Chains A and B, each alone.
Chain A
Amino acid sequence: MQPQGMNGMAQSNGTISFILNDREVSLSDIAPTTTLLDYLRLERRLTGTKEGCAEGDCGACTVLVGRLAGDALVYESVNACIRFLGSLQATHVVTVEHLAGKDGTLHPVQQAMVDFHGSQCGFCTPGFVMSLYGLWLANDDPSRSDIEKTLQGNLCRCTGYEPIVRAAEAAAKARPSAVFDPITREREAVTARLKALIPAETITIRQGENCLIVPADSDGLAAALADNPGATVAAGCTDVGLWVTKQMRPINPVIFINGIAELQRIEETEAGLTIGAGVTYTAAFSALAKIHPGFGPLINRIGGEQVRNMGTIGGNIANGSPIGDSPPPLIVLDATVTLRSTKGRRTLPLEFFFIAYGKQDRQPGEFVESIFVPRLPAGDLFAAYKVSKRRDEDISALLGAFRLSVEDGVVRSARVAFGGMAATPKRATTVESALIGKPWTEETIHAAQPAFETDYQPLTDWRATSDYRMLAAKNLLMRFFLESGGEPAQLVRYATGER
């Protein structure tokens, strides 16, 4: 059980403490790779949360995790299958068992799912209920696009979703006057309890060869990484989770950085945005979309909501995937990355961070601390286009980012970068050269398109053939041109223009 007098005390005793539904849990006997889902199902016998895929793609294991963001207590849907127990310090884990009243009265979200026939086989249903509950807490008048966005990370194979969407709309309106909602009812008390659980010092749990480290701050992270230069630095674990559940790879020792408040800062200045490495996509969305409107629709297509609630831009960069969605737009925007170690900091253009497939310019002991995204000079054009087999919650077949300045009808500068076209996120320098100094016309586009073949030799895999990638890349340049002239050149999902 929870030791008394936690407030302000150092957690060097090696326990991870969080609230599970209505009771506090302190665990000292956990492996770095123990997932929240296995803990819930195998140890707590909370079997309402299901395993559908064990890779964060189906949402059957969706739970809410409440965390303090500043003084606010924020509840977000996450995939319990790839959430490690060690990353839960000072959080409130809410499972489907927590929703109904003690007398069995269903929560309005649950009741609406019953009334609108939102379940058939029922296996995905608890996950849907939890995602919808997250929406219900945040939004009492969701649009259909809000609902769809909320459900991007939940697969249902039976219903075709229509009844679930109807249930979400009805539930939003159903707010009985009595204090029936467990999170609303307990919000203040939980906030206070979580504050008391915020660690002042690094938590380390060693168990034989296993080692799990939760630094309290970025100094602690730098120190931990200096001591363990080969450690796995894990933030959202939307990729690292699969190393464990699918490849059964050891991630030992692991350093969980998702709770470090310093890494979750977003600072906006006249020059641009500094985004801490621990900022999730969800948290970064509004700030990024504000200064670069082209970024918003893209972020909304990265993973599902659960993945965006866990995954970080820092992690997307640090793991160096050739198909990460954030690097191409950040590269064309001239973003820089700041790395830190006990020896200090260094900042380099993001473009040069990616050296080769699986290789980044990160020295042992270094971690990604922040990303700086400059504003665009007035008049510059910017767009990022993702192409995938399925529109949402899919890994890109290719992703193109474009930035251009045009003066008197002539291209003054051009930056083009793609993901999915090479072993790293990579600029199309030949295409850029074919644009610079030319009139911004359709003829120039046609003349520049063949240059893609110099810049890229894409692969064929299950996401797309090489031919398709090449053709679509060329066509995305045309889309960029047409859109710069105000011509509709991509599908618009909603009448409001929201994509």
Chain B
Amino acid sequence: MDKSTFEERKAIRGEMHAPQRHDSAHKHVAGTADYIDDMPEPAGTLHGALGMTDRAHAEIIAMDLSAVVAVPGVVLVLTAKDMPHSNDISPSHRHDEPVLADGLVQFHGQPAFAVIAETRDIARRAARLAKITYRDLPHVTDILDAVAHGGDLVTQPLILQRGDAEAELEKAPHRLKGSMRIGGQEHFYLEGHIALAIPGEDDEVTVWSSTQHPSEIQHMVSHVLGVPSNAVTVNVRRMGGGFGGKETQGNQFAVLAAVAAKKLKRAVKFRPDRDEDMTATGKRHDFLVDYDVGYDDEGRIHAVHANYAARCGYSSDLSGPVTDRALFHADSSYFYPHVKLTSQPLKTNTVSNTAYRGFGGPQGMLGGERIIEEIAYQLGKDPLEIRKLNFYGEKGSGRDTTPYHQQVEDNIIAQIVAELEESADYQARRRAILDFNRTSRVIRKGIALTPVKFGISFTMTAFNQAGALVHIYQDGSIHLNHGGTEMGQGLYIKVAQVIADSFQVDLDRVRITATTTGKVPNTSATAASSGSDLNGMAAFDAARQIKERLMSFACERWQTTPDNVSFVANHVKIGEELVPFPDFIKQAYMGRIQLSAAGYYKTPKIHWDRATGRGTPFYYFAYGAAVSEVSIDTLTGEYMVDRVDVLHDVGRSLNPAIDLGQIEGGFVQGMGWLTTEELWWDDKGRLRTHAPSTYKIPLASDRPKIFNVRLAEWSSNVEKTIGRSKAVGEPPFMLPISVLEALSMAVASVADYRECPRLDAPATPERVLMAVERLRRA
């Protein structure tokens, strides 16, 4: 390494790869970071509330809203007929998702009207006064129900295959079949959905929306209003959490606010109550995985055939790409010599399920890991041994092709796992646990090491593009904007570091500004972990353009050559002269240099042909592994996570502090999904776990008692990503599969590990106890 360069780079505050705190941290803790509901409201702002139905599947015979309208303070009631141009907000463009139910109710709670009133309280109270007459239709809420009733699909299924799975299953020395139920998950962003629409001149409207996808909000608002996209501006400074729940699910609120605002020529805000938010917006898909695997005496997999059935809810939303991604990850980190994978995106009378961190990938991987577990228990071996046998090989090993025919070219899983096995002292601890379980009557322990390999890129190739806008003002202060949104993940600070680094100026010279469709158009959702890969590169490109202009300016003005000009620690170095950055910029302005640039980036190399199930959908893979140790109470099924060790690959981290936060937080969120977070519908199809009193996300006291998280500091992305970093949003979410498998091992101990407990998710205390009971009786 060139040490002089290194020292110069150290001289600015906030360069790339430095552990910077979140840009808004000081405001978060002081209560001065404004979320949409904290912004001063325009005078005369009105408030909306959803009018919700109470049938899972029914025709609406009549809707008497007279009592709603009669409430003093109610200004407007909207129904499907009041949508000016279209009542459709289907993100998949299959026209299967109305803004408001129009004659047909498809899930319990589906909004059929909206009330606009002087206060939120009036709107909420009035919304309960509607008299709706229904003709009930049969409803299905569950995957098995849906299959039993004909298995209607919301979108086209996917098939991935390579080799001849059926023939090889027949030939394999051993074969087993099983199935696994995997529960869904509520996002439980702490800030619920919210939209504030402010009417403008002519057909214009500005919408502040808590959304991961301002461009889609823009498109939906323009579509429903019947105005061009250029009439609609969508802004978001920050969200109080998103996790995928604000990728498409904000459309409804933004559209209703915009429609009402344009009709009434007053600002309109929609902020559903938590219960309404949880009832009316989609969640992670639950899955039923049926697997059939052939393997040999050692535990090496010969062939896999699996079907992934998903509860998609009443409409397609993102269920197509979600179920696709489940199949893309059904191999987890393992080479399947012969494989056939099918998806079954089932229609159910439940809220339409949507994106959630991992986007089907976690469910896919969980099925793959269950297969490993089954083989291990069948052969009486440690599942880790089976894992190692089946890992993808090095490039060119003949064991590097995925079920979708992409070569795994950057495989580091063996190295990650070996290093973690050693540092976490896995083998000795496993022996100690086996000893403990021999003598402990009530409390049993388990330990598991599970790997993560997660494909990075939107599988819809077109989404892998991004834009940024960078201005330098005459005083040398820099204005940064890009298409990515900030939901707590630290995207804004990472991209700001890219800019600070590019110009070699202190981070506080860079002003991070709210995401808006007015500055950077045609953006993709901040999703698929792609935020910093895409927007970081787009911003880098904008900086490059300005720097090139500044370079030629410097060469001309100082009569020198580019190799004598460099950006160093808040200065521009020209020959031996150090010009302070603001002075240099002032001179550039006087020299009539354009100090603004729009940057652009598109991910290279990727392509995907869904019809043939072949391609290179992913630019690269992110890797990681975790060892979890748990204790269970075999009398009640209660448990706790005693210790977790994580080693995770983020390439060359753009910001290790932010990345560690993503890993720790992703782990605990994933652990919640697999343990205490349970969605429960009653026989009327009503979701009964619709608030934190009934839906239990992890608490501080649930986090692992010992929690060691490390970055694989030796890793560097083999692809030319920004700073050779890797995406970090989603991959760590799958590390806690190790918690589920450790619970499973503790359960298995009651039958001397002879039988795979087939512990489904979420492994609530009830499921753990019932598995213990089942094994004891077997």
List residues of A whose CB falls within 8 A of some B CB: 41, 45-55, 57-58, 60, 95-97, 99-100, 104, 106, 110-111, 113-115, 117-126, 129, 147-149, 151-152, 154-165, 242, 245-246, 248, 385, 387-395, 397, 461-465, 467-468, 471-472, 475-476, 478-479, 482, 487-491, 493
Q: How far is the CA of A388 from the CA of B702 in the complex (A)?
A: 13
Q: How far is the CA of A462 from the CA of B186 in the complex (A)?
A: 15
Q: Kindly state whether residue B38 has any CB partner on chain A within 8 Å.
A: yes
* Chain B residues with CB under 8 A of A482: 441-442
Give the distance to chain B from A95, nearest Cβ to Cβ, in Å: 7
B125-A121 in contact (CB<8A): no
Q: How far is the CA of A163 from the CA of B275 in the complex (A)?
A: 29
B25-A114 in contact (CB<8A): yes
* Chain B residues with CB under 8 A of A476: 635-636
Give the distance to chain A from B537, nearest Cβ to Cβ, in Å: 23
A165-B700 in contact (CB<8A): yes
The 8 Å CB contact of B703, one of A41, A124, A162, is A162
Q: Kindly state whether residue B128 has any CB partner on chain A within 8 Å.
A: yes
The 8 Å CB contact of A491, one of B34, B490, B633, is B633
* Chain A residues with CB under 8 A of B636: 385, 387, 472, 475-476, 479, 490
Q: Kindly state whether residue B191 has any CB partner on chain A within 8 Å.
A: yes
Q: Which residue of A lies closest to B240 (CB)?
A: A123
Q: Which residues in chain B, 479-506, are within 8 Å of chain A measured between CB atoms?
A: 487-490
B31-A47 in contact (CB<8A): yes
Give the distance to chain A from B116, nearest Cβ to Cβ, in Å: 18
B28-A125 in contact (CB<8A): yes
B770-A123 in contact (CB<8A): no
Q: Of residues B639, B694, B697, which shows the largest number of chain A Cβ atoms within 10 Å of its Cβ?
A: B694
Q: With A106-B30, A160-B667, A491-B640 in contact, do A389 and B703 touch (Cβ < 8 Å)?
A: no
Give the distance to chain B from A149, nearest Cβ to Cβ, in Å: 8
The 8 Å CB contact of B661, one of A50, A106, A163, A385, is A163
Q: Kindly state whether residue B611 has any CB partner on chain A within 8 Å.
A: no
Q: Kindly state whether residue B769 has any CB partner on chain A within 8 Å.
A: yes
* Chain B residues with CB under 8 A of A123: 35, 189-191, 240-241, 488
Give the distance to chain A from B239, nearest Cβ to Cβ, in Å: 6
* Chain A residues with CB under 8 A of B275: 246
| 21 A-B contact pairs sorted by A residue (CB < 8 Å) | A47-B31, A113-B25, A114-B26, A114-B29, A117-B22, A117-B657, A120-B490, A121-B190, A122-B22, A152-B700, A155-B699, A157-B665, A158-B488, A158-B665, A160-B698, A248-B124, A387-B636, A462-B682, A475-B635, A489-B441, A490-B636
What are the interface flags for B757-777 relative to A under an 8 Å C-beta threshold, 1 for contact and 0 otherwise? Answer: 000000011100110010000
Q: Which residues in chain B, 432-470, are within 8 Å of chain A measured between CB atoms?
A: 440-443
* Chain A residues with CB under 8 A of B243: 157
Q: How far is the CA of A184 from the CA of B100 in the complex (A)?
A: 54
Q: With A159-B664, A462-B689 in contact, do A110 and B696 touch (Cβ < 8 Å)?
A: no
The 8 Å CB contact of B694, one of A151, A248, A387, A462, is A462
What are the interface flags for B46-74 relative to A under an 8 Å C-beta threshold, 1 for contact and 0 otherwise? Answer: 00000000000000000000000000000
A54-B190 in contact (CB<8A): no
Q: How far is the CA of A385 from the CA of B638 in the complex (A)?
A: 12
Give the distance to chain B from A303, nearest Cβ to Cβ, in Å: 10
A152-B190 in contact (CB<8A): no
The 8 Å CB contact of A391, one of B28, B238, B702, is B702
List residues of B whose CB falls within 8 A of some A CB: 21-22, 24-35, 37-38, 40, 124-125, 128, 187-192, 238-243, 273-275, 440-443, 487-490, 631-633, 635-640, 657-658, 660-661, 664-669, 676, 678, 680, 682, 688-689, 691-694, 696-703, 705, 707, 764-766, 769-770, 773
Q: How far is the CA of A242 from the CA of B274 in the complex (A)?
A: 12
Q: How far is the CA of A155 from the CA of B274 in the complex (A)?
A: 14
B442-A126 in contact (CB<8A): no
Q: With A121-B240, A123-B240 in contact, do A48 and B30 touch (Cβ < 8 Å)?
A: yes
Q: Which residue of A lies closest to B676 (CB)?
A: A390
B702-A462 in contact (CB<8A): no
B664-A163 in contact (CB<8A): yes
The 8 Å CB contact of B442, one of A41, A115, A489, is A489
* Chain A residues with CB under 8 A of B676: 389-390
Q: How far is the CA of A221 from the CA of B113 in the complex (A)?
A: 44
* Chain A residues with CB under 8 A of B693: 53, 55, 57, 242, 395
Q: Of residues A156, A165, A493, which shows the largest number of chain B Cβ atoms within 10 Å of its Cβ?
A: A156
Q: With A125-B29, A246-B275, A487-B442 in contact, do A472 and B637 touch (Cβ < 8 Å)?
A: yes
B273-A60 in contact (CB<8A): no
Give the distance to chain B from A301, nearest Cβ to Cβ, in Å: 10
Q: How far is the CA of A124 from the CA of B692 in the complex (A)?
A: 14
B700-A52 in contact (CB<8A): no
B688-A461 in contact (CB<8A): yes
* Chain A residues with CB under 8 A of B22: 117, 119-120, 122
A389-B765 in contact (CB<8A): yes
Q: How far is the CA of A156 from the CA of B672 in the complex (A)?
A: 12
B26-A124 in contact (CB<8A): no
B664-A155 in contact (CB<8A): no
Q: Which residue of B lies closest to A493 (CB)?
A: B640
A119-B28 in contact (CB<8A): yes
B25-A389 in contact (CB<8A): no
* Chain A residues with CB under 8 A of B692: 52-53, 55, 57-58, 155
Give the distance to chain A from B674, nearest Cβ to Cβ, in Å: 13
Q: How far is the CA of A50 from the CA of B239 in the complex (A)?
A: 13
A121-B701 in contact (CB<8A): no
Given contacts A48-B32, A119-B488, A151-B701, 14 further A-B contacts (CB under 8 A): A47-B34, A50-B35, A55-B274, A96-B29, A100-B30, A120-B489, A149-B701, A158-B661, A160-B698, A391-B638, A476-B636, A490-B442, A490-B443, A491-B633
* Chain B residues with CB under 8 A of A113: 25, 28-29
A147-B442 in contact (CB<8A): no
* Chain A residues with CB under 8 A of B238: 121-122
A52-B191 in contact (CB<8A): yes
* Chain B residues with CB under 8 A of A57: 691-693
A49-B661 in contact (CB<8A): no
A151-B699 in contact (CB<8A): yes
Q: How far is the CA of A469 from the CA of B755 in the complex (A)?
A: 25
Q: How far is the CA of A465 from the CA of B25 in the complex (A)?
A: 43
Q: Which residue of B lies closest to A161 (CB)?
A: B700
* Chain B residues with CB under 8 A of A41: 37
Q: How far is the CA of A129 from the CA of B241 in the complex (A)?
A: 18
Q: How far is the CA of A388 from the CA of B192 in the complex (A)?
A: 26
Give the distance to chain B from A37, nearest Cβ to Cβ, in Å: 12
* Chain B residues with CB under 8 A of A104: 30
* Chain B residues with CB under 8 A of A493: 640, 701, 705
A121-B21 in contact (CB<8A): no
The 8 Å CB contact of A52, one of B274, B440, B443, is B274
